[in-house]
Amino acid sequence: MRVMFFGSKIIVQKLAASLRGREIEWVSPAEVPELIASLQHESFDLAIVDSQIEKARLACQHINESCTIPLVLMVRERPVNWEMLDSFDVDGYLPDWVREEELAARLQAVVRRQASAKQFGETNNLSLTFVPQSRVKAKRLNN
């Protein structure tokens, strides 16, 4: 599986450590023009964008416009501003604050779902969502 990650070096290192020994190839462009070039010339199975970088929204926009791969937003801030993050138009969220084992398990779940979706001819229908109970309760109250 090929994964594009656009974010800070610290988070790239954390993700790389979490997935060491698994069959996942990482590509991590440093700037938006490099990200755009990678999307035009290479194929990826998943994109992860760090929500805390300055150009996160722009990166998500280019990924959504360029391809149909699942797009996951790496959430690092607490408390989470869900209203702002919902506007990024992503397929799911991945928390930064979980232990490496859980982070690896969540990413492996994405890999499995993506492989199943490809096998059965489905496209971009996977959802990796980490929603704290407080947000679930708030959504129920609002609906």
**Which pLDDT score is estimated for 129?**
41
**Which pLDDT score is estimated for 49?**
92
pTM of this prediction? Answer: 0.74
Residue 128: other Cβ atoms inside 10 A = 21
Q: How confident is the model at residue 14 (pLDDT cuts 50, 70, 90)?
A: confident
H or E element in which residue 60 lies: helix 56-66
Instruction: Summarize pLDDT for 83-107 with one digit per residue, the tens.
Output: 888 888 888 888 888 787 787 777 7
Q: Could you give the C-alpha distances from 5 to 21, 47, 83, 94, in angstroms and in order?
A: 18, 6, 23, 12
pLDDT at 122 over 80: no
Beta strands of 8-133 (E only): which ranges? 25-27, 46-50, 71-75, 92-95
Q: How confident is the model at residue 119 (pLDDT cuts 50, 70, 90)?
A: low
Q: What dotted CATH number matches 2-142?
A: 3.40.50.2300
**Which pLDDT score is estimated for 61?**
92
Instruction: Summarize pLDDT for 34-70 with one digit per residue, the tens.
Output: 988 988 888 888 899 998 888 999 999 999 998 888 8
**Which pLDDT score is estimated for 104?**
75
